[in-house]
Amino acid sequence: MEFLVASAVGLMTGAGVYLVLRARTFPVVLGLALITYAVNVFLFTMGRLAVNLPAVISDDAAGYADPLPQALVLTAIVISFGMTAVVVVMALRAYLEGDTDHVDLADPDSGDEGDRS
Amino acid sequence: MNHWIILPILLPAIVAPMLVLAVRHDVVLARVFSLASAVLLVLVAGILLGLAVNGGPHIYALGNWAPPFGIVLVLDRLSALMLLLTSFLAVGALLFAVGGADKRGRHFHALFQLQLMGVNGAFLTGDLFNLFVFFEVLLIASYGLMVHGGGSQRLRAGVQYVVVNLVGSSLFLIAVGLIYGVTGTLNMADLAVKVATMEAGDQALLQTGGLLLLLVFAIKAAMVPVQFWLPGTYALAPAPVAALFAIMTKVGAYCIIRVHGLVFGEGAGEAAHLIHDWLLPAALITLVVGMTGVLASRRLGQMTSFAVIGSMGMIMVPVALYTHEALSAALYYLVHSTLAAGALFLIVGLVAERRGSLQDRLVVGPVFAQSGLLAAGFFMAAVAMAGLPPLSGFLGKLLILDAARDVDANVWIWTAILASSFLAIVGFARGGSTLFWKPSAMEREFDGVHEPAGGAVPFVAVGILLAGLVMWTVLAGPATHYLDATATQLLDRQRYIDAVLN
């Protein structure tokens, strides 16, 4: 099981990093999503992998799973899900207003640009 | 337990939803609420400063759960100082926004309050996971503020900023996971105890976690090699937002002092001085890169952004040394550079607004409204930023140079600081003379210029921040006295640990 979880985290991170380094916003958003999945799985393993063990006190339990990573990963999932939504909306707005979905900024001194205020 | 400690988080957390739900259609009322909240925060921070002066770190255990099991807030001299600095800067930035910038988009004031909540929380929290949560709060608010007012260039810079920070947050979580995996705790004081007696087999994971945290905080603090996001973001953000963002880079610096000083500092067993080899070279390169950028900039906003990067390098040099004098000097310069950067960003906003389609480009144009007054303000802020006498930048640099006198790398440090100061002076002199000096002979009008909004209010905001700089210079004696005691408190790890755990 250790090998399976470790390789899944590694694979997702690798694919995510590759996608984040692409030039257009859609692959970048997908890459961010993959990285956050990898991080969430990784956070689970930080309390050590355990199968069929209760997290709360019970009389006939052989051992306990660490409950804290489960609470932390819930927070991390909520935050990363919300952030992915934010980045999708912002990327859409930037595409609609700028007519390009390149992540890089154009040279600020060439062509038109947004209003400063 | 003293309930004042949680007020800097609660107050903006209550005002923000009120601004969204109750007074969303009434601009005047929203401004009143938002400004009142910021002014109250200054008062609360002042009270907390008084509390911090009396004795060692004060603890606020939420829900009265005893640390290390519950969530804990810690108030010491350093966090009290940072709270006061944040709220003071916020009053200046908000007052500027009230001059008209807050009407260019929606929910400016609510986002502003949430940002304050995140920053204050990051300065108060006593455990790593809540540090992550407050980082997210301040970042989410900053995404909204960054694109306030819209414009395609600004939106694209905003997307870049969000992507960089999302990757940073992921790294933060990985670091937190690694550290929890080997120590079984995330409370900073408890971590400091556990790390000191860590087995050799777990050192690799622990130190990887510690260095990843350094990388995350370096992204926030805009240090080389992860400084690239800052010029685009700060130069394209609206002026009052850029001024408030001046405190965000300092959150990174604060976290390095707090986490790496406490957990991986003196007496942390094998993991002690973990970041020592990395931080000093990175800081020196940041300093030189930032000030070279000032020289190379083609816009005033860009120039100020690079000056912010350079000043972060200047702060991190003494932090890397981590001696008593060095810490005191670093904190003095930190407060100074926050105020100077805030004032400069506001002035850039005023100049850009008055120059029509030329905006803040460093090209000669006609004379613009209130050119003389703005030139005086720019001159003062630039003198402070470049570190010329008589303002506090000069004193701060003197303190840093003095603290670096007897260390091994003193030749490198002195050379980098003096050479980069020279670059900054040349850069700002070029910018100021192009914008304020040369235009006098030209006759034609700007195209697309409109009557500047807000009247005198934005100038009062700039004046407040500049007055803060003058105060910080005049009160340098009492200030360094306070900062010396702060440095003593920071180096006394055992007192912090005892205060939290007992």
How far apart, in whole angstroms, are the C-alpha atoms of residue B265 and residue B276? Answer: 9
| Beta carbons within 10 angstroms of residue A85's beta carbon | 10
For residue A115, name the pLDDT band (cuts at 50, 70, 90).
very low
Q: What is the rounded distance in angstroms from the CA atom of residue B228 to the CA atom of residue A105?
A: 12
Distances (CA, A) of B442 to A59, B161, B360, B374, B375: 88, 39, 17, 18, 17
Higher-scoring residue by pLDDT: A107, B91: B91
Residue window 39-58, chain A: list those with CB within 8 Å of chain B.
39, 42-43, 45-48
- Biggest CA-to-CA distance, chain B: 75
C-alpha span between B346 and B101 (Å, rounded): 11
**Is B239 an 8 Å CB contact of chain A?**
yes
Please give the pLDDT value at position A61. Answer: 78
* Cis status, amide bond into B439, omega within 30 of 0: no
Q: Chain A contacts of B151, Cβ < 8 Å?
A: 97, 113-116
Using DSSP bridges, classify how beta strands B72-75 and B58-61 pair: parallel, antiparallel or unpaired: antiparallel
Assess whether pLDDT exceeds 70 at residue B445. no
pLDDT band at B361 (very low <50, low <70, confident <90, very high): confident
Closest CA to B213 of B177, B246, B185, B250: B177
Q: Yes or no: say if B379 and B371 are a contact pair by the CB < 8 Å rule.
A: no
Element (H, E) at B128: helix B128-146
Binned at pLDDT 50, 70 and 90, residue B254 comes out as very high
Mean pLDDT of B424-438: 91
pLDDT at B211: 93
Three-class SS state of B9: helix
With a cut of 50, say whether residue A114 has pLDDT above it: no
- Residue B36 has a pLDDT of 95
Burial B116-143 (b: 16+ CB within 10 A, else e): bbbbbbbbbbbbbbbbbbbbbbbbbbbb
Q: Pull the structure tokens for residue A7.
A: 């390789």
- pLDDT for res B451: 63
Pick A86's closest partner by Cβ from B101, B162, B170.
B162
- Choose among B153, B166, B349: nearest Cβ to A117: B349
For residues A101 and A91, the answer to whether their CB atoms sit within 8 Å is yes
Of B140, B152, B170, the CB nearest to A35: B170
* A107 pLDDT above the threshold of 90: no
Q: Is residue A28 part of a domain?
A: yes
Is position A103 within any domain? no
State the amino acid at position B67 in one-letter form: P
Q: Which range among B68-72, B380-384, B436-440 has the greatest average pLDDT?
A: B380-384
DSSP letter, residue B187 = B
Residue B90 in this model has a pLDDT that exceeds 90: yes
Q: What is the pLDDT of residues A3-57, one digit of tens each?
A: 999 999 999 999 999 999 998 889 999 999 999 999 999 988 888 887 888 877 8
pLDDT at A47: 80
The three-state secondary structure class of B498 is helix
Distance CA B248, CA B225 (A): 18
Q: Is residue A71 part of a domain?
A: yes
Residues with Cβ within 8 Å of residue B352, at least 6 apart in sequence: A116, A117, B239, B300, B301, B359, B360
Q: What is the mean pLDDT of residues B161-170?
A: 92
pLDDT band at B399 (very low <50, low <70, confident <90, very high): very high
Angle at CA B464, nearest 5°, toward B117 and B80? 40
Rounded distance between C-alpha atoms, residue A79 and residue A84, angstroms: 9
Q: Tokens standing for B304?
A: 């100020």
Q: Is the pTM above the cut of 0.90?
A: yes
DSSP B45-114: HHHHHHHHHSSS-EEEEGGGPPTTTS-EEEE-HHHHHHHHHHHHHHHHHHHHHHTTGGGSSSSHHHHHHH
What's B218-238 look like in SS3? HHHHCCCCCCCHHHHHHHHCC
Give A75 to chain B, closest Cα distance, Å.
8
B355-368 b/e (C-beta count within 10 Å ≥ 16 → b): bbebbbbbeebbbb
**Stronger pLDDT, B106 or A111, i.e. the higher one:** B106
To the nearest whole number, what is the mean pLDDT of chain B? 91
Q: Which residue has the higher pLDDT, A106 or B243?
A: B243
Residues 6+ apart with CB under 8 A from A34: A12, A13, A15, A16, A19
Residues 6+ apart with CB under 8 A from A115: B149, B151
pLDDT in the model for residue A106: 64
Does residue A116 fall inside a structural domain?
A: no
- pLDDT given for residue A59 in this prediction: 81
Q: Are B164 and B149 in contact (CB under 8 A)?
A: no
Q: How far is CA B491 from CA A18, B221, B324, B494, in A?
A: 42, 22, 7, 9
Task: For residues B405 and B413, give the distance between their C-alpha atoms in angstroms, rounded to a whole number.
Answer: 9
Give how many domains chain A has, as a whole number: 1
Q: Please answer whether residues B472 and B395 qualify as being in contact, where contact means their C-beta atoms are separated by less than 8 angstroms.
A: no
**Mean predicted confidence (pLDDT) in B340-344:** 95
d(CA B241, CA B101): 10
Residue B2 has pLDDT above 70, yes or no: yes
Show Cβ contacts of residue B192 under 8 Å, excluding neighbours closer than 6 positions: B262, B263, B268, B493, B496, B497
Residue B340 class from Cβ within 10 Å (0-12 exposed, 13-18 middle, 19+ buried)? Answer: buried
> For the residues B333-348, what does the mean pLDDT come to?
95
The residue with tokens 């910018």 is B431
Interhelix angle B108-124/B27-53, nearest 10 degrees: 10
Looking at the domain assignment, is residue A30 inside a domain?
A: yes
Q: What is the pLDDT of residue A111?
A: 43
| Per-residue pLDDT tens digits for B175-229 | 999 999 899 889 999 999 999 888 888 889 999 999 999 999 999 999 988 888 9
Do the domain assignments include residue A54? Answer: no
8 Å CB contact of B152 and A97: yes
Q: Which residues pair with B72 in a beta bridge?
A: B61
Of A20, A91, A105, the CB nearest to B157: A105
* Closest by CA position to B363, among listed B435, B445, B443: B435
Residue B77 and residue B86: Cα distance in Å, rounded? 14
Contact B170 A36 (CB under 8 A): yes
Give the chain A residue nearest B139 (alpha carbons). A83
pLDDT reported for residue B415? 94
The whole-number pLDDT of residue A112 equals 43
Query: What is the distance between the terminal CA atoms of chain A, rounded to a whole angstrom?
Result: 55
pLDDT at B439 exceeding the cut of 80: no
Token digits for B38?
């910021």
Give the closest of A25, A48, A90 to B147, CB-based: A90
User: Rounded distance, CA B348 to CA B449, Å?
Assistant: 16
Chain B CA closest to residue A29: B163
- The half-sphere exposure of B145 on its side-chain side, counting CA atoms within 13 A, is 28
What pLDDT shows up at residue B449? 61
For chain A positions 89-108, those within 8 Å of chain B (CB to CB) are 90-91, 93-94, 97-99, 102-106, 108
Which residues touch B386 (CB under 8 Å, ≥6 apart)?
B393, B421, B424, B425, B428
Domain assignment present for residue A55? The answer is: no
Q: Residue B146 corresponds to which amino acid?
A: M
Q: Which residue has the higher pLDDT, B453 or B373?
A: B373
Q: Which residues of B208-230 are buried (b: 16+ CB within 10 A; e: fewer)?
A: ebbbbbbbbbbbbbbbbebbebb
Candidate from A75-84, B150-159, B188-197, B264-273 with smallest mean pLDDT: B264-273
Instruction: Using the predicted structure, report yes or no on whether residue A113 has a pLDDT greater than 50.
Output: no
Residue A39 falls inside a structural domain: yes
**Looking at CA atoms only, how far is residue B238 from chain A in angstroms?**
5
Domain hosting residue A85, numbered range: 2-49+65-98
pLDDT at B232 exceeding the cut of 80: yes
Identify the bridge partners of residue B175 per DSSP, sorted by sequence position.
none
| pLDDT tens for each residue of B113-152 | 999 999 999 999 999 989 999 999 999 999 999 988 888 8
